[in-house]
């Protein structure tokens, strides 16, 4: 029977081993330094890999808000569900009781006044307008430049892509960081929050339609997957809503965090436009009828 005898390590071999050890220590130190001093901010353990994102609007928002934006917007305001601004101490209005809606004009339209930060270039403002037009198409919402209105949206290139939920009364900021948030779909998504909508997978009945893969979610972001007492406005669960998280949202290991229960092949979320049901949602929330003639 053949046996392998343990060979004593010769001095030359030993030197090579020591050299290899030193090299690998140096390499890991360089890696650690890159990680610690990286200009990107991001969760430890969260893998920022291209292949784990499937290109939804929410993936773009997560990429910007988690890796580049500040954690706290100011001393009292933080982000819920990744991109909804919440001010501590201020009771957030119950949007689904229709108490945070923008007011409706007698002509049947919902006019929402907006103002651009002077920091945006002309090209950037025309891109933001495209996002707003995406909301207007097929809905009763119309965005109008601010003149004197008491309630209006102040669009600012602050840190990250975010909005408050619904109308807060008075001036309210909606942040579209430049250039990361200046994509039609991302802009439309943030305006949907300003109209009063939370994310689609936060619906109270979502567990009938999707499975949340809790073990795959980055620990510090579990709260982004909470359910809320929402009013579904009599509309079906919308896998392709612009407000739906992608399948890999907040994945810590590249594995899916949301799996549709449907047997059909379904893609979650949207890349650049409201779904048909998103438009119906707006018209129902604002009691506008469902004509496509708007
Ligand atoms: Zn959002």
> How far is it, in rounded angstroms, from Cα 53 to Cα 62?
10
> If you average pLDDT over residues 86-105, what whole number do you get?
72
Is the per-residue pLDDT at 51 higher than 50?
Answer: no
Residue 31 known to bind ligand: no
Statement: residue 191 has pLDDT above 90: yes
The pLDDT assigned to 34 comes to 37
Q: Could you report the per-residue pLDDT of 119-141, keeping only the tens digit for each?
A: 999 999 999 999 999 999 999 99
Q: Of all residues in the chain, what percent carry a pLDDT higher than 70? A: 75
To the question of whether residue 189 is assigned a binding role by annotation, the answer is yes
pTM for the whole structure:
0.82
Interval between CA 57 and ligand 1 midpoint (Å): 9
Is residue 190 among the annotated active site residues?
yes
Residue 192, by phi and psi: left (phi above 0), alpha (psi -120 to 50) or beta?
alpha
Q: Specify the pLDDT at position 264.
A: 83
148 marked as binding residue: no
Distance 31 CA to ligand 1 centre (A): 33
Q: What is the pLDDT of residue 90?
A: 57
User: Which pLDDT band, with edges at 50, 70 and 90, does 31 fall under?
Assistant: very low
Phi/psi for 142 (5° steps) reads -135, 130
pLDDT value for 12: 54
Query: 124, 136, 190, 200: which is the annotated catalytic residue?
Result: 190
Question: What's the CA-to-centroid distance between 220 and ligand 1, angstroms?
Answer: 17
4 pLDDT above the threshold of 50: no
In this prediction, residue 272 carries a pLDDT of 93
Average pLDDT over residues 233-258: 96
Mapped onto helix, strand or coil, the DSSP state of residue 155 is strand
CB neighbourhood size of 280 (10 A): 20
Q: What is the mean pLDDT of residues 246-266?
A: 92
- pLDDT value at 43 more than 70: no
**Percent of the chain clearing pLDDT 90 (strictly above):** 66
Q: What pLDDT does 247 receive?
A: 95
| Amino acid 74: pLDDT | 76
Mean pLDDT taken over the chain: 83
Q: What is the pLDDT of residue 39?
A: 39
- Tens digits of per-residue pLDDT, 144-176? 999 999 999 999 999 999 999 999 999 999 999
Report whether pLDDT(105) > 60: yes
Of 103, 58, 89, nearest in space to 202 by CA:
58
Q: What pLDDT shows up at residue 85?
A: 93
pLDDT value for 273: 96
Q: Taking residues 199-216, report their average pLDDT.
A: 97
* Residue-level pLDDT at 2: 42
Q: What is the pLDDT of residue 37?
A: 35
- Three-state secondary structure of 197-210: CCCHHHCCCHHHCE
Distance 34 CA to ligand 1 centre (A): 30
pLDDT grade, residue 6 (50/70/90)? very low
Report the C-alpha gap between 186 and 280 in whole angstroms.
Answer: 19
Task: State the sign of the Cα–Cα–Cα–Cα dihedral 233, 266, 219, 56.
Answer: negative
In angstroms, the CA 111 to CA 115 distance is 13
């Amino acid at each position: 029977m053949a046996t392998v005898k343990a060979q004593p390590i010769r001095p030359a071999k030993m030197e090579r081993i020591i050299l290899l050890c030193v090299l690998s220590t140096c390499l890991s130190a360089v890696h650690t330094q890159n990680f610690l001093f990286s200009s990107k901010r991001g969760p430890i353990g969260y893998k920022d890999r291209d292949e784990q994102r499937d290109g939804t609007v929410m993936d773009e928002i997560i990429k910007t808000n988690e890796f580049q934006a500040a954690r706290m917007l100011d001393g009292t305001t933080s982000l819920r569900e990744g991109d909804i601004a919440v001010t501590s101490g201020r009771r957030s209005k119950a949007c689904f009781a229709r108490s945070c809606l923008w007011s409706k004009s007698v002509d049947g339209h919902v006019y929402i006044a907006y103002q651009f930060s002077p920091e945006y270039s002309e090209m950037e403002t025309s891109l933001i307008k495209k996002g707003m037009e995406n909301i207007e198409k097929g809905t009763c919402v119309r965005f109008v430049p601010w003149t004197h209105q008491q309630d209006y949206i102040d669009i600012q290139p602050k840190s990250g892509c975010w909005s408050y939920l619904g109308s807060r009364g008075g001036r309210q900021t909606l942040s579209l960081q430049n250039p990361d948030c200046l994509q039609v779909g991302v802009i439309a998504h943030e305006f949907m929050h300003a109209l009063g909508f939370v994310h689609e997978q936060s619906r109270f009945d979502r567990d009938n339609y999707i499975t949340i893969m809790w073990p795959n979610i980055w620990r510090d972001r579990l709260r982004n997957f909470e359910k809320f007492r929402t009013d579904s406005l009599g509309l079906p669960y919308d896998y392709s809503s612009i407000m739906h998280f992608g399948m890999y949202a907040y994945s810590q290991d590249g594995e899916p965090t949301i799996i549709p229960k449907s047997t059909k092949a379904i893609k979650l979320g949207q890349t650049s436009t409201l779904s048909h049901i998103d438009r119906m949602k707006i018209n129902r929330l604002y009691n506008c009828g469902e004509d496509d003639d708007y």
